[in-house]
Amino acid sequence: MTLLIRGGRVVDPLLELDGLHDILVEERHISKVAPAIQKEGVPVLEAQGKVVVPGLIDMHVHLRDFNEAHKETIATGTRAAALGGFTTVVCEPNTDPPMDNCRILQRWFRMAKGNGCVNIYTKVCITKGRRGERLTRLKALARRPWVVAATDDGDPVVKDKVMERAFLKALEYELLLTPHCEESPATLQVFKRNNPLVIVPEEIAQYRREPYYVARELELAERTNWRVHICHVSMGTSLDLIRKARARWVPVTCEATPHHLTLSGEEMERCGPDAKVNPPLRKKEDVEALREGLKDGTVDVIASDHAPHTPEEKAKGWDQAPMGVIGLETTLGVVLTTLVHPGVITLAEAIERMSTNPAKILGLPGGSLAVGTPADITIIDMDKEWVVDPQSFASKGRNTPFKGWQLKGKAYATVVGGKVVMKGGEIVV
């Protein structure tokens, strides 16, 4: 696989590179980064006027499949990823059936191998059936090269003792834990059964317990000295806890989603169930606090939490509709429009949060354009103006709170292992 990417502005935060360069790809890897590379007889991808960055990595997506192929499949989800500029996605394990044993993992791997058009990895469950009781066989699961972390996704492990055991096992098998610090109806029932004396006011019960779980995970990370990555932080209080823990050298990283970085609870009325998500959209102060955290580096990663549901399910009204918003095809545009163009963060900082840091946290090969790394590359048209039209998405999901938004900036081409998989808004594989 040979390719010459010519004339773009190359931005790589890891190499501290920002300038006009060509990139030569040979045998799926980057073989040279330099101005005006001369090479005859090689396919050329013109990138004049565009920005060339290390392939974007979305470390939090739901590609459903198995019994929920009507919501998304690996084929449709990875096409959406390529269109959004992502060269790598990491799937959550709350599939149906859940990713809690080696057999299902093997099934998933066979599907992923044949059907994805970008790199694809997965997380596995911490507990059997995500019920928070018995740990999965983390040792066996962690051995698979395409497994990068463990989480029970939307159902946090309620019992401290179970989570402590998970940390100790994760330390032993060197597996990253990426807990969701949110409340779900299932975990709330478990909590109430185990703590009958605690009367939880409804508002707190449903949605206010994020900082409680964040504090618990930080305590366990400190006690075991094992790494934890907190998924989609949505409240300023949680970020303060993380910031303080970091100052004590607790090994913690965290992520925020484009929707929590841009929308507050008021949007829920405007968007209806398409903005129903867990964790929910918060107060304006929380949005501000997340942006501060992004600027000062407390928020390491921007991840979409792409969570497709069918239009029929989302049409059931606020109370009945399932939680989740999609993001693979809008994340880059939303980040560029609301954070980079207005100067909240620089382009290099955005790329750090969407490529360099996810690669570092997950131990993945990408995240840089250094010579010798796999040629996973995203080419961005920073000035492309477009309107979010969910009907045009490759994803099966239509549930986006960004519907109708006017965005500036879009992926122009996505290159995976030296192969151009998307160019000019078209999948080309």
Candidates 73, 94, 119, 357: give the one binding ligand DOR (CB under 6 A).
94
Q: Which spans in 62-159 are helix H? A: 74-83, 102-115, 138-142
305 annotated active-site: yes
Site membership for ligand DOR, residue 180 (CB under 6 A): yes
Candidates 73, 122, 278, 414: give the one binding ligand DOR (CB under 6 A).
278
Which residue has its beta carbon closest to ligand DOR?
A: 154
Site membership for ligand DOR, residue 154 (CB under 6 A): yes
Shortest approach of ligand DOR to residue 308 CB, angstroms?
8
Helices 102-115 and 74-83: crossing angle in degrees, nearest 10, is 50
Q: Which of 255, 260, 257 is nearest to 229 (CA)?
A: 255
Residue 92, judged by CB atoms within 10 A of its CB (0-12, 13-18, 19+), counts as buried
Quick one: 235 or 307, whose CB is closer to ligand DOR? 307
Candidates 102, 140, 186, 323: give the one binding ligand DOR (CB under 6 A).
323
Quick one: 92 or 381, whose CB is closer to ligand DOR? 92
- Sign of the dihedral through C-alpha 298, 303, 309, 315: positive
Shortest approach of ligand DOR to residue 397 CB, angstroms?
10
Shortest approach of ligand DOR to residue 305 CB, angstroms?
6
Given a contact cutoff of 8 angstroms between Cβ atoms, the answer to whether 382 and 60 are in contact is no
**Tokens matching residue 403:** 């519907």
Site membership for ligand DOR, residue 307 (CB under 6 A): yes
**What is the C-alpha to C-alpha distance for residues 56 and 73, in angstroms, rounded to an integer?**
20
**What is the C-alpha to C-alpha distance for residues 208 and 283, in angstroms, rounded to an integer?**
12
Q: Given the residues 12, 65, 286, 305, select the one marked as catalytic.
A: 305
Site membership for ligand DOR, residue 324 (CB under 6 A): yes
Quick one: 153 or 255, whose CB is closer to ligand DOR? 153
Shortest approach of ligand DOR to residue 243 CB, angstroms?
23
Which residues are CB-neighbours of 269 under 8 A, at least 6 positions away?
none
Q: Which residues bind ligand DOR (CB under 6 A)?
A: 62, 94, 153-154, 180, 277-278, 307, 323-324
Point out the residues that are catalytic. Answer: 305
